Amino acid sequence: MPKNRRPTLTTGHSSSVTPEFEREGRVSGHVLKAVRRSVGHTQETLAERIGVDVTTLQGWESGRRPLMAVSTGQYLRLRHLLRRLGAGPHLLTQLDTALEADRFIGYVLAADHQIDLDGHPLATWVITRPFTDLVAWPFIGVAPTAIAEATPPGRRGPSASGPELAADERQHISAHLRAAAEQAPRDTVKGALLRRQAHYVTGFDTSAETAEWLAAIQGEEKRRLRSTAEWSPSWAVVRSGAHSIARKGDSEALPEFIDAHVSSEECETANLNYWAYWLGEVADPQLADTFMVELSVDTWRGDHLLTHLVGKLDPTNPYVDIVVHSLWALVIRKPGFLDDRNAASMTPTVLRLLDERSVSPRSRRELEAVLYALRMAQRR
């Protein structure tokens, strides 16, 4: 390298070693654009600070030049610069997670329907809410809340407002995930994890064909569940399936799941532990769904979960029944973390939902019990 030339993020990079499925960059590109806008830079000014041609930055943001294809050291230099420019830590974490989302999308688009059951991304870890929100973005067109709230509205222009999938790409991803769910072993922990997560991610496809498949597969999973009162990896599959078809408009799916499959302390623990992991209260990555019953609920606080559940007490929320039940179970299992301040702030929301008279009888009884606990906390 000439002595008078400073190193840049593309210096010395060779794309010839990049696997095909790692040439995907649509999600991380849009997150990078959101981070850039959050620190008040144009493409031209940020490219100058980074030391790359503006067309390189434009390629990263559009996904034409996948950010995943730069070296680790080069990516870290970009990340550190964005931090110095004032990018929020949570947005930078979203950028890291967006690379995982792109790798997943690229893997599925490059794969056929003969599933690698050991190496499939959905069989190797319990996916998180940030990852899932980013994967869902190109399907449903809704930016994750952290990105939507942290960046100012941009100028109108010809560029897309978010990552997009072509019709044939959607069909391929949906078909691949259905094949993964159908081919996954039914008698192993890893197989159940793959089935559960493939069901759930497939649910972001809005086609009628996918909705019919989800309903049919959920019926099969419920029939295979050996016991309604005991936790098993198949229990976790049925739980996620109930959420998926509730999102599709089946108002009975979650009440039926709660009545039939959350009737023991073990299953209540599993439900709460999964919520805690989903919302980041369980910080360590989990490799199998067995963490749901292996963790004690005393290992996490519950404050963030409490705030989230109260914020979702909305009769139009398709998950309102599981939200109410989980709030009730949380208050029962962790009564000590209710104080007069948070009890006072929660009470109006609970009363509003009770006044709506639109929840199931069971949810109404549980809300009344929560309201009693809130009033007792305010009297301490």
**Residue 276's pLDDT is what?**
97
pLDDT tens-digit series, residues 40-93: 999 999 999 999 999 999 999 999 999 999 999 989 999 999 999 999 999 999
Share the mean pLDDT of the chain: 89
Whether pLDDT at 13 is above 70: no
Mean predicted confidence (pLDDT) in 188-192:
95
Average pLDDT for 175-199: 95
What length is written for the chain? Answer: 380
pLDDT of residue 379: 82
- Separation between Cα atoms, residue 239 and residue 244, nearest integer Å: 9
- Whether residue 9 has pLDDT greater than 60: no
* pLDDT value at 169 more than 50: yes
The answer, yes or no, to whether residue 363 has pLDDT greater than 60, is yes
Quick check: 5 pLDDT over 60?
no
Specify the pLDDT at position 154.
52
Summarised one tens digit per residue, pLDDT across range 333-352 is 988 888 888 899 999 999 99
Position 16 scores a pLDDT of 38
Range with lowest mean pLDDT among 106-115, 148-157, 200-209, 221-230: 148-157
Q: What percent of the chain has pLDDT over 70?
A: 91
pLDDT in tens, 115-168: 998 899 999 999 999 999 999 999 999 999 889 887 666 544 445 689 999 999
Least confident of 57-66, 81-90, 101-110, 355-364: 355-364
